[in-house]
Amino acid sequence: MARLYVPKEEIREAIPLKSRDLRYLIRVLRLGEGDELEIFDGQGGRYRARILQEDKGWFLQVLEELEPGPPPRLRIVLGQGILKGEKMKWVIQKATELGVSEIVPLETSRSIPIYEEEELGLKLRRWQRIAEEAARQSNRSTVPLVQRPMSLRQFSDRCEGFRVAFWEGAATPLREVRSPGDVQEVDVIIGPEGGFSEGEAAYLEGEGFVLLSLGPRILRAETAAIAVLALLQHLWGDLG
């Protein structure tokens, strides 16, 4: 069944269709009046709905509330050093598919320059939209929140889970890490192009992050992010 994201605050008995959603349903999926689909609200809620048309336009009629989607076995908060151009969008898309709960762009000494406020607002909306689309495609009922960029200190101050950071200068591989019992939340940091400086790595270690290696090969930042998320989900989550 086709799926469409509708924010929880917009869920009601009759939901007017936005132009972009209407184009997707009619032109891309070739659906029409009377066809049914699933709505998900990004917070686990799922609903069966029907496409209808009246004089005032197209809308979705909510028919019933479905069983909520299962909560993630592992909550992952990804702190990603800001990457250039399409790479950041790609990481957000794939991280969503791999089940992350939250994505935080990180400002580091080697990340790209900070955006102006107006440009940042546009990028954040675009990044959030990418996460919504990836959640729809991957059959998720939750959508990760893409936060405003933070410094390493700001990210560290809000961490509540098991802390890990991946750095090419680290000696300990992930398979040898000693986790504190049943891991339910991981706060993971991946550097930008060029990685972390030695000073940043030392700071993270002092903040309680376990510095880890992915092996002898140097991976691109976007490759490292996806490899790390897949490994974490395999170790403690629901992958494989």
Q: In which element (H, E) is residue 36 found?
A: strand 36-40
pTM score: 0.92
What string of DSSP letters covers 147-213?
PPPEEHHHHHHH--SEEEEE-TT---BGGG----SS--EEEEEE--TT---HHHHHHHHHTTPEEEB
Domains defined along the chain, listed by start: 3-65 (2.40.240.20), 75-236 (3.40.1280.10)
What per-residue confidence (pLDDT) applies to 60? 96
pLDDT band at residue 117, thresholds of 50, 70 and 90?
Answer: confident
Contact 62, 38 (CB under 8 A): no
What per-residue confidence (pLDDT) applies to 177? 85
Q: Could you read off the pLDDT of 133-171 as tens digits, one per residue?
A: 999 999 999 999 999 999 999 999 999 999 999 999 999
What per-residue confidence (pLDDT) applies to 114? 65
| Residue 55 DSSP label | T
Give me the chain's average pLDDT, please: 93
CA distance 60 to 42: 17
CA distance 23 to 234: 37
What per-residue confidence (pLDDT) applies to 182? 85
Enter the tokens of residue 145: 């929140």
